[in-house]
Structure formats: C-alpha cells, structure tokens
Structure 1
Amino acid sequence: MMFSTRLAMGALLRRAALPTVRRAAWKAGVGGSALALVATGYNSSQIRLEGRPASSLAIGDTFEMKMYLESQRELDAARERKRDTAVQRSRSLVVRLCKRLWFAMDDLLWSPLCTVVRFAHLALLIVPLAAAYPVCATAQWYKLVRFICQHAGPTFIKLGQWAASRTDLFPPELCEELSSLHSNVSPHPFAYTESTLCEVFQVERLDQVFDEFHRTPLGVGAIAQVHAAHRRDTDQWCAVKIIHPRAARIINRDLQIMRFWAATVNMIPTMEWLSLPDEVAQFAILMRLQLDLRIEAQNLTRFHENFPQSVTTKFPQALDMEHTTRDVLIEEYINGFPMGKFLQEKTRIGDPELTRRVSVPFVDAFLQMLILDDFVHADLHPGNVMVRFVRTNKLGTQVISSEQEHDRIVNELKDLSRTHSDALTGKLVCLLTDYTPQICFIDVGLVTELNETNRVNFIDLFNALASFDGYKAGELMVERSRTPETAIDKQGFASKVDRLVREVKQRTFTLGTISIGDLLEQMLSMVRSHHVRMEGDFASMVIAILLLEGIGRQLDPDLDLFESSLPLLREYAINREAHSFLNSTDMWQMGALWVALETKKLMHLTIKEIYNLLKTDQLCPNY
C-alpha cells in the first residue's frame, strides 16, 4: 500500500533541478558560509573555501542531506578548532601536553564513563519494561512502552514518535499508542534563554533587542522550546526557538547506546531482516537534523519559494538570518487556530461544503509538495497545522485583510473554545462563509525528499501499477527493497499485491471513491508480514499521505486524492516541465500517469452520469 499511493499520487514526479538560489545567506564565518553555499545549489567546483574545493564539502543526494553532511563537518571542525586554540594559547610546553592529555582522557575515559552511567539509568527503565512483557496484556504493555519513552529523555521521545510512523516494521496497535506520545520535558531556565540570546546578538541585556519577551514558552518540545517576542528594530512579533542545554550531548550518548543494542539484536538470526543498525543510523540523522536550527531556517526559505504569495497556504518566514545559529532560530510568529480544535468542531458545523473549504487548500498544499516540489513536510500532524481566516480581493489572488484582523479573529476563536462551544460553532460557520481559510504549517525541521535512485524505482513500480499488473509490482517491491534476501515467500507476497491491485481496479469502475488510507494499511501489513524492507524516506512519505488523508477525510468524507491530484499533474506535465518533456523518459512515463488518471476520471464521470439518468428515468423514450 505504501507504494500504491506514493506512485499514484505522483511521487515519481521529482524535479531533478536543485532549488533556486537562496537570497539569504548566513554571516557566521567560513562554516556558516559553506553551509549556506550548500543550500544555494551553486556550482561548487568553482568555489574554494579554506583552501579546498567546496565540492568536497557537501556530498549528498538530496537538498537536506547536503545540509546535514555540511552541518556535521562544521561541528567536527569547530570542536577541533576549539581544542587547538586552547592548546596554542599556552606558551608552556608542559601545559600544552597536559591539555592534550586532558582532551585524550575526555575522549577515551570520561565520555565513555558518562555513556555507561546513562546506560545504567536507561536500564533501570527498560529492564522492568522487558520483565513486564510476559505478564502484561498487549495493550497495557504498549501503554507502558509509551510511558517509558516519555520519561527516558528527548532521544526516546523522538524514537517513539519515529516508531509510530513505521507501521511497516511495528504492529499497528503499538504505532497508534506511540502516535499520542508527547514531550514531557520541562522548560529550561529562562536564564539560559537570556544568556544564549545575548551572546547571539552580542548585547548585555535582552531588552536591547526585544521590547517585549514572553518568559513563558509557547511550546516546549523534546529538543527545543519556543518563545514569543517583539523586536525593537522591526516592530514585528516573532517566534524565538532555542535548543535545550545539553540536548546534543544527551542525544549523542543515547545514539551510541542504541547503536550497540542494534548491533547486538542484529546478530540474532531471525532479526537481521529488520536491519536495525541501518534504522539507528537513519534515526541518528533525523535527530541531528533537528539539532541545527539553520537547516530548519533553510527549509522555511525553500517552502516560501515553493509557495510564493499563496493566499491559502502559509509558512512562517525565517527572519534575521544573520543571527540564526545552530541553537537559535528567529522566525515569523503565526497566530492560528489549531487544526485539532477545528476537527473537534467539524461535526457541529454540519455542512460538508463549509468544511470542504478547509480540506481543499490543505490537500492541495500537500499535493503540491508531493507532486511539483518533491519537498514534503515530514511531521504533518494536526498539532503542526493551524487555520486562519483572511479576506481576499474579488479574484481571490491577494490577501487584503491586516494581521491585526487575523489576530483578533483567532484570539476570539481561542477564547470561545475555552468557554462556549455553541458560540464557537456559530462563529466558525460565519467565518467559513465570509472569509477564506488559510492553512498554516509550522515546525518544518524535518522534510522528506526522494533521491534519484528511489525515483527510478518508483517509476518502474508505477509502470506495473498503472497497468494493473499487481504481480509484477509485488516482485519489483521485493527486488528494489533494502534487503531482498530476507523477504519471506516472495511469490505469496506478489500474489497478495496482485489481489489488492485487482480490488483497486474493480473499485475504479464503480461509483465509490478509493480510500488510499485503507489501501496503504493493507499494503503495510503485507510488507511487515513478508519482511520486505522499505526505504525510510519512502515510509516517511507514506505516513505523510496517511496523515493527510486522515485529516482530509475528517473534513471531507468524499475526499479522493487521485482526483485531487489531477490539476497538479496537468500543471506539471504542461507548464513546469514542458521544455524537457520530449527529451526525458520520465516525462513520457508521467504523461502516461496523467492520461491514465484523466481516463479514469472521464470513465467515472460517464458511469455516474448514466447512473443518474437511469435513476431519474431520463433515458425513457416517453420522457
């Protein structure tokens, strides 16, 4: 199922070109310039930094991976530079030798000792969990897993959230329990926030930069917390995100422990199909991406380039790139009504046409990320989506209402949500009638892209699925998996995929819409039971699609993602890639996708029209 939707939705449509040149670059020395260079997509062979070609700085197969690799190189270089500086400051040879000995002891003795202590702390939590497995009911044990993750620190909170997205590896009941996992982290002291910001802005007091700064965080996550503040120089409200102290150190120690246990479990003959060392390596990348807020700032910049002047979609803008560092991010503050609360009210609204005014821009935004941009928000749950209500011109191409009006509306909705639910419902009905809903996406630290290899694999799979050759699609899924040799009963798996594709084919020619979520869940069950190992980016994209349809169908029970994707497929095939359509094999294959979906829609509409004519007796000769 993982493949059927990704392919049918146009996941094969990855643009080969790098993103357009970034207009903003960091002014953080050579390291920051190198990372900014990676983000721009310049010809690295023409530039040299610190006496070496920039092409040696970033070797990655996606935009975010280039950023990640350069971030890690900067971190290692800064550590070595700091140590060399500390040694060179001393004139005495004995002092220099002592400092080098201290650094060696830190690497070989102190750090491993701290890791052992952390291991003992985790053992006190995990051993009782393992001991409870034989005596606890399955559902109760899953709840205990979630409880342990909440109290084991940021790494295990994120690990639980990541595991919740891997239904191809873990039972769906466990994934559902872990999906409700939220951070149980207390905010770090405000003194740390203040000192960090003063160091970044090179001021003595925080009020020299902000004339108002909310000491209570807007939100506290496992890795960072966010404060609202008002800038003196720009007279603008902003959100200030700050990494927790010692977060990187704790996470690195936890990753060392996880690597050890993954290697140990991988030696068990029946467990090697999970490839746990590879999964830990992938998880380590996800964690470290979130430890460098400059990467999130570049993600925001790219999303703004992908949605220029959009009326119905909004991302916060990265502000003050000069003072954005690894630990601090200054971004636009968006005051929106949480999507989760809106979903609670949708049944009281009662009018599908009104709630569809929210679902349509939400689905369209996601499909643009998926089909046109190949740059998808990878943490797309209701907590990271908000709704605002704006006034537009007659053509609906420009927002004419002010930020003050937006804030007034949202604040009124939040007040009503705490007191009068009936009044809230009435207010939402009025707003949905008189205003245009604007979907706001936040927390873009993680995105999903497909590299060239995955794109080729998806194209081959699509050719099989588009022709409803389910057996061939099943064979390709095994052949192109990460560990084809560990798959169980390959022919049986291909036969199951073939039956599922035949079911899709049969439903395509009926009046009912196809629930992509149901298809994905069936496919993930097959993948898990037959030990077919999928690529992590692929699984992340599938979970994003599941979340999309989960939210979209709550707002619009008749949602059909296949049909919703058609306008974007037309735009992709005609406008954005017309210059290379005749010169690219991929373009011909995507043209086949477009024609197939257009034909499906035409046949679906024809059958529906004939059905309506028969139902109303309009085909009777004497009518």
Structure 2
Amino acid sequence: ETMHLSRWLLSLALLSMLAAASAQHSAGIADVASCANYAVPSLPQPALFLLSALSARQALKAARRGPPPPLRSILGSREESALVDEPPASRIQLAMRALALLTVFAPVLLLLPLALVLTPFRERLYFPLVTSALARAGTAFIKWGQWASVRPDMFPEALCAALTRLHSQAPTHSFDHSRCEVEKAVGMPLDAYFEAFERVPLASGSIAQVHRALLRGQQVVVKVRHPDVVKHIVQDFALMRQIADLSMRFRSTSWLNLQASVAQFSNTMVAQTRLDIEAEHIRRFRWNFHGWRDVTFPSIYLATRSVLIEAYEPGQLVSKFTLERTLRVPTSQAAPLSKKLSHFVVSRGEDIYLKMLLVDNLMHADLHPGNILLQMDPPNLALIDLGMVARLTTKESEAFVGLLNAIGAGDGAAAARCVLDFSAEQTSADIVGFEESMSAYFCSSCRGFGKNVLLGEVLRGVLLRVRRFRVAVDANYMTLVTNALCLEGMAAALLPSYNVMDAAQPLLEAHRRLPRVLFRASLPLAAGWKRLQDTLTLRSTRDEMKESRASPSARARPICDV
C-alpha cells in the first residue's frame, strides 16, 4: 500500500514538474499531457489533461507571485545591537539592576537548600515562588519563564507546570503612552487619523498591548509597545549572559548549554520588541500561504519600531473550544463545534504545521490554540501573534522530520540518532544509555503508522529520556516539539478519533521518498490527497466517535501538556 501511494505521488510530482516547465516555455496543455502520458502511461487521457491543466495553472500562479518578502538577518550580538533602539547598559545601571533583581530573588535563593531535599515543598511551594519572582522581575524574565515552561527536556515537569501561569500575567500601560506613540507613528493627532479608538486595551502581553480602532471604515488593531521594555531587556540579558558564562564552568550545569540558549533567546526577544520585524514575519507568512483560501494572516497598514497597525481578524479563539472539551464546562456563549468544523480545525492546523516544517523552514514559534482564530462561515483559520518565529536550517528541518519518520516506522534506534543531532555538541550526554532506553521505549510504546501511536505521549517519553541522559537540545527543535504537542493536544480535545501521525503519513512519505524539488512541486496534489484521506476517515469513524464519547475511558489529554 505504501509503495502504491509513493508511486502515485511520484507520478503527480512528475506531472507538476512537466506543467511548470510548460508554463515557463509557453507550451500547450496538450504538449504537457503528451509528456505526462509518456511518464505515466497508466493514467487515463482525461485525467492527464485535467491534472496537467491544474498543475500548469498552479505553476503560473506561483510565477506571478514574485519573490518572497525579505526577512532581515539576526545572527548574533552585532546584528542584535543594530536592532536595539537603546544604548548598551553602563556598569552602574547593571549594578543597580542586579541589586534590584537580587532583592526579588532573595527568597528563592534562601529557600533553595530546603527545596533540594524536600520534594513536596519543592513542587507545591517553591516552584510557585519561583514563578512569582519571575513575574515581578520584568519582561525578559517573564519571557524566559514562558520559554522554560515548554522545556521539559531541561527542567522538571512540575516547574514547567508552575511556569505556565506566566502566559496569563501581562503588564499594561496608560492610554496617554499609547496616544503618544501612535501619534508619533502616524504623524498626526489620534482623533484625526482614526474614526474611533478604544481607550481600554483589547489585550496585553509582556511586550505590547493592543487597542481596537476604526481606520477608513475598516476595523483594525493597534499594537503599542510598553514603555522602557527595550531598556529593561538589554540590561537583563547582559546579566543573563554573565550567569550563563558562569554556568559553563561547572560540569553539573554545563550540559544545559545556557550560553547558546540565552544567546538565541536574546536575539529572538530583541526581534520581538521591534514591531516592524513582526510585520515582516506577517508579510512572509502571507506570501508563504498565498492561495490558501481558508488560512489567513492579518494585513499590515503601518509598522514602526513601537507601533503596529494591522487588520482586525474576527472569530473565536480555538483555545475556547479546546478548554470547553477538556474541562467539560462552557467558557463562552458560542455553540459547541460540530464534527465537521472540529475536523476542519484539526486537519487544517496539521496542514499548516507540516507546510511550515516541510516546505517553508519558517515556523510560528507559538503555534498553540490561543493564537489561532476560527471564523465559522465559511470555515477559516487566522493566525495571530507572529512576533516570535523559528527560522529553520535545512539540517534542523531534516533532523526533526527524521524523528517523525522514525516514530512512524517505530524505529527507536533511528529516533535516538535524530535526537542526538538536535545539538552540535553532546559532551555530557550518556549516548549509549540514551540509545538503549529509546530502543526499549519504542518496542513497548511506539509501533509505527497504523498502530494508534499517540504523538504527544511518544514525544513526552522522548523528552523524559532527554533529560535523564543529559542530551542537549537546541531551542529551534524545542519549538518544533512544543508546536507538535500543542497540535496533538488540540486534536485530542476536539476530535479524539483523529490520529496526528497517521494523518501526516502521506506528506511525510512523499517528503522522504521524493527529492526536495519534486516534493515542492507535488505538494498541492499531495496535500489534496491528505485532505481526501482526512475526509474519508471522518466519515468512517463517526460511530467510533460516539462510542468514545459514551465510554468512561475516552481519551482526554491536556492541551499543550508538555
């Protein structure tokens, strides 16, 4: 069956390549069909003409799009300093900031010896105390805590669970500051530029807050950066780098590779403070998903370093529906999702994730249900909050796809080799012990495609062994893992019968067997094949869904439980 699928995918890829060539050389559809008939003689003549016409149309549309919008390079401290609109912190400023932080973290340091020996105290009292201290320490520490909350490979799961509270704690600033920044950006009084502007923020995050407004008859959202955010981030990361340098001198902490993680996290955070860089991300994602009629990203009206004006995207956050299903209590007045809409959200969400991974090498770094809006009629997914992205190298993409293929094959040894490639240096890792543990784990808990493999459970098992055997994992890989866990958790809440791994098999098989150029050319057809399989699976499992809902042992896995 797999060979049959691969043969047809290869045939479709050849058709796409022939159609692209015909589009560039103005060849007729009949010429394309004639070449396709030679390449794939088993296809009926009408099917050849239809596929050739569709492929040629796709190639012409791609050619008319032009080159992708540029993304500025953020590679290190020199590029980072060019992005920052604040001067470097002086020694006096760093000393004063260090003293203030020492006051905040003094209880955490004093109680550390007790937390090391008493597990109940550590999990019930100490970890919440750490969370509270991070919240009071400022933007960089809040963001670091949010990042650490999804790194169970590096930190205890109880600490990660406590740190998730930081996702909902966000500062706000005065309306006067928003007015001043917006008027500076647009070059005129607020009331003259907007027909209406809401004084109360629609939402607030650790970097900026959002106001709703009316511009030229269109609803927009205005994102305004908090005051002094950049200054505090510059000071805090200067201190974090010194702590990371100190940690590398001790064997017990050097395996964490805090220097690399702090450097990468610093670059990402600095880029996130620049709202014009977020606008660049949005424009690139809009280009990448051009032609996806049911996936949208906000249109950009204006972008400066501290202000971003973009189109208002209506809809309900998918997180509202996942929480309702998980907690079994209504969180909004919206009607529950139908099976068809649930299937659309889950399957299209997986399509988005796989395209970012397999084709674009640009991943939304916070792709959870709280950043996805569902518009009902017609069904559409809108992605928001694109300040943080993961730019993947070809090696990073291939290593993570290799892990997914190893999970699909039930091959623990291959999975271990892929995970060991998640960092260039594994100086502290117990490689032999890790490989043996992975092989044993896969033999008992991961049998491969078609064997009801739960991706989330397998990844959590892998992360447990990563931490136990001190395997280093770079930050981009953890972004991919975290997004995969969120996707699987969303599927478990909205459509328990949907298996993320089995649904991804057509695209993963095509990616593994075809050269990259052929895979890119055949992606629209391969994705169509996947959606057809999704639809057939939905129709064939309706009775199973009813039984799973009635059964007390129905799966109810947490959303983004990492």
Q: Which has the higher contact order (CA 8 A, sep 6+)?
A: 1
1:502 aligns with 2:443: yes
From 363, 366, 369, give the equivalent of 1:379. Answer: 366
Deviation by residue 1:348-392 (Cα, 9 ceiling, x = unmatched): 74965553343333333333323333322111233222222114x
Gaps of 5+ in 1: 1-19, 25-36, 42-62, 80-105, 392-436, 613-623
Q: Which residue of 1 aligns with 2:465?
A: 526
Secondary structure of 1:387's match? strand
From 228, 246, 256, give the equivalent of 2:228. Answer: 246
From 392, 405, 411, give the equivalent of 1:450. Answer: 392
Q: Which residue of 1 aligns with 2:413?
A: 471
Q: Tell me how many residue pairs correspond in the alignment.
A: 458
Residue 292 of structure 1 deviates from its aligned partner by 1.0
Residue 253 of structure 1 deviates from its aligned partner by 0.4
Secondary structure of 2:427's match? helix
- RMSD, aligned α-carbons: 3.8
Q: 1:129, 1:144 within 8 Å by CA — same for their partners in 2?
A: yes
Aligned-partner Cα distance in 1 for 2:274–2:506: 36
After TM superposition, the structure 1 = structure 2 runs for residues 43-192 of structure 1, keeping only pairs within 5 Å, are 63=71, 65-66=73-74, 72=80, 74-75=82-83, 111-133=90-112, 134=114, 136-182=121-167, 184-192=169-177
Gaps of 5+ in 2: 1-61, 116-120, 330-335, 545-562
Question: What is the letter of the counterpart of residue 501 of structure 1?
Answer: F
> Mean Cα displacement is larger for which, 446-455 or 343-352?
343-352
Q: 2:449, 2:505 within 8 Å by CA — same for their partners in 1?
A: no
Q: 2:317, 2:374 within 8 Å by CA — same for their partners in 1?
A: yes
Q: 1:386, 1:441 within 8 Å by CA — same for their partners in 2?
A: yes
Distance 1:70 1:264, change over 3 A: closer
Q: 1:151, 1:184 within 8 Å by CA — same for their partners in 2?
A: no
Q: 2:182, 2:190 within 8 Å by CA — same for their partners in 1?
A: yes
1:277 aligns with 2:295: no
Residue 207 of structure 1 deviates from its aligned partner by 1.3
Question: What is the letter of the counterpart of residue 496 of structure 1?
Answer: S
From 212, 223, 234, give the equivalent of 2:196. Answer: 212
Deviation by residue 1:15-57 (Cα, 9 ceiling, x = unmatched): xxxxx99999xxxxxxxxxxxx9x745xxxxxxxxxxxxxxxx
Aligned-partner Cα distance in 2 for 1:304–1:218: 24
Task: Using structure 2 for the length normalisation, give the TM-score.
Answer: 0.72
Q: 1:361, 1:438 within 8 Å by CA — same for their partners in 2?
A: no
Question: What is the letter of the counterpart of residue 504 of structure 2?
Answer: S
Q: 1:150, 1:183 within 8 Å by CA — same for their partners in 2?
A: no
Residue 505 of structure 1 deviates from its aligned partner by 5.5
After TM superposition, the structure 1 = structure 2 runs for residues 295-444 of structure 1, keeping only pairs within 5 Å, are 295-320=277-302, 324-346=303-325, 347=328, 349=336, 352=339, 355-391=342-378, 437-444=379-386
Secondary structure of 2:300's match? coil
Distance 1:284 1:230, change over 3 A: same
Aligned-partner Cα distance in 1 for 2:479–2:185: 34
Question: What is the letter of the counterpart of residue 451 of structure 1?
Answer: T
Aligned-partner Cα distance in 2 for 1:257–1:139: 29
From 172, 196, 199, give the equivalent of 2:181. Answer: 196
Q: Which residue of 2 aligns with 1:256?
A: 238
Q: 2:491, 2:500 within 8 Å by CA — same for their partners in 1?
A: no
Residue 447 of structure 1 deviates from its aligned partner by 1.5
Percent same amino acid at aligned positions?
Answer: 29
Secondary structure of 1:362's match? helix
Residue 252 of structure 1 deviates from its aligned partner by 0.6
Question: What is the letter of the counterpart of residue 383 of structure 1?
Answer: G
Distance 1:439 1:467, change over 3 A: closer
